Amino acid sequence: MRLYSTKNRSEFTSLREAVLRGLPPDNGLYMPESIPALPESFIRNLKDYSFQDIAFIVTKTLFQGAIPEEDLRKITDDAVNFNAPVVSLNEHQHILELFHGPSLAFKDFGARFMAQLMSYFNQGESRELVILVATSGDTGGAVAAGFYQTPGTRVVILYPKGKVSDLQEKQLTTLGHNISALEVEGTFDDCQAIVKQAFLDQELTSRIRLTSANSINISRLVPQSFYYFEAFKQLENQENVVFCVPSGNFGNLTAGLLAQRMGLPVQHFIAATNINDVVPEYLESGAYAPRPSQRTLSNAMDVGNPSNFARMQDLYHDLEERSTWNNMKASISGYAYTDEATRKAVKEVYDRYGYVIDPHGAVGYLALQEYQEKNPGTNGVILETAHPAKFLPDVEAILEQTITVPERLAVLRDKKKVADLMPPEYSPVKEWLLEHLR
Task: Compute mean pLDDT per 10 residues along the chain, 438 residues long, and list them.
Answer: 95 94 89 96 97 98 97 96 97 97 91 91 86 84 88 92 87 91 93 90 92 85 97 97 96 97 98 98 95 91 93 88 89 98 98 97 98 97 95 95 89 89 97 89
Q: What is the distance between the alpha carbons of residues 436 and 438, in angstroms, rounded to a whole number?
A: 7
Sign of CA dihedral 100, 101, 102, 107: negative
Q: What is the distance between the alpha carbons of residues 412 and 409, in angstroms, rounded to a whole number?
A: 6
Q: What angle do CA 185, 290, 324 make, to 5 degrees?
A: 145
Strand pairing report for 93-97 and 179-184? unpaired
Residue type, 64: Q
What is the reported pLDDT for 262?
Answer: 98
**Number of CB atoms found within 10 A of residue 253's CB:** 29
Which one-letter DSSP state was computed for residue 428? H
What is the reported pLDDT for 409?
Answer: 83
Q: What is the distance between the alpha carbons of residues 61 and 53, in angstroms, rounded to a whole number?
A: 12
Q: What angle do CA 147, 19, 82 make, to 5 degrees?
A: 45
What is the reported pLDDT for 319?
Answer: 66
Contact at 8 Å (CB) between 435 and 428? Answer: no
Is residue 223 helix, strand or coil?
helix
Q: What is the distance between the alpha carbons of residues 174 and 190, in angstroms, rounded to a whole number?
A: 23
Contact at 8 Å (CB) between 159 and 172? Answer: yes
Q: How far is CA 205 from CA 145, 196, 214, 366, in A?
A: 25, 12, 17, 44
Cβ neighbours of residue 245 under 8 Å, at least 6 residues apart? 252, 253, 256, 269, 270, 271, 272, 364, 383
What is the reported pLDDT for 390?
Answer: 87
Q: How far is CA 241 from CA 53, 92, 94, in A?
A: 22, 9, 11
Q: Which residues pair with 179 in a beta bridge?
A: 155
Q: Which residues pair with 209 in a beta bridge?
A: 129
Q: What is the distance between the alpha carbons of residues 133 and 241, in angstroms, rounded to a whole number?
A: 34
Q: Which residues pair with 269 in a beta bridge?
A: 243, 332
Question: What DSSP string describes 245-307?
Answer: EE-SSSHHHHHHHHHHHTT----EEEEEESS--HHHHHHHHS----------SSGGG--SS-T
Q: How far apart are the first and last CA of the chain?
A: 32
**Number of CB atoms found within 10 A of residue 14's CB:** 13
Rounded to two decimals, the pTM is 0.90
Q: What is the distance between the alpha carbons of residues 392 and 412, in angstroms, rounded to a whole number?
A: 13
